[in-house]
Amino acid sequence: MIELNAERARRTIVEHTERLAGSAVLAGPDAAVPTAPGWTVTDLVEHVGRTQHWVAEIIERRIRGPETPTRPPRGLPAARAVGCAVAPPLVADAGGGEPAR
């Protein structure tokens, strides 16, 4: 069985985010997403970017309860930057300690 740890999670997030970004560039921002009727590639990438930003904020602030996260920048480059630059380092740093809330 493969062990899940912070470093493996970080590498996987980076790898999958880079694959999504590469596929998004190839498909184009207005391409339809076959598995999400009515969504474009831009919608999908922004959704993933917002989700990664939200998770990174939860990890960074060690949030334990309901709270409204801040809004990340919109757009393909911003969503990729959020996924590749913000979430993975925080996953690596999330090892221990007490939650802030």
Mean pLDDT, the chain, integer: 74
3-state secondary structure of 24: helix
Q: What are phi and psi of 96, to 5 degrees?
A: -150, -165
pLDDT at 33 over 90: yes
Distances (CA, A) of 53 to 3, 20, 46: 25, 16, 10
Half-sphere exposure in the Cβ direction for 42 (13 Å, CA): 6
pTM: 0.65
Of 94, 100, 73, 75, nearest to 13 by C-alpha is 94
Q: Looking at the DSSP assignment, which residues form a beta bridge with residue 40?
A: 32
The separation between CA 35 and the C-alpha centre of its own chain, rounded to angstroms, equals 19
pLDDT at 52 over 60: yes
pLDDT at 14 over 70: yes
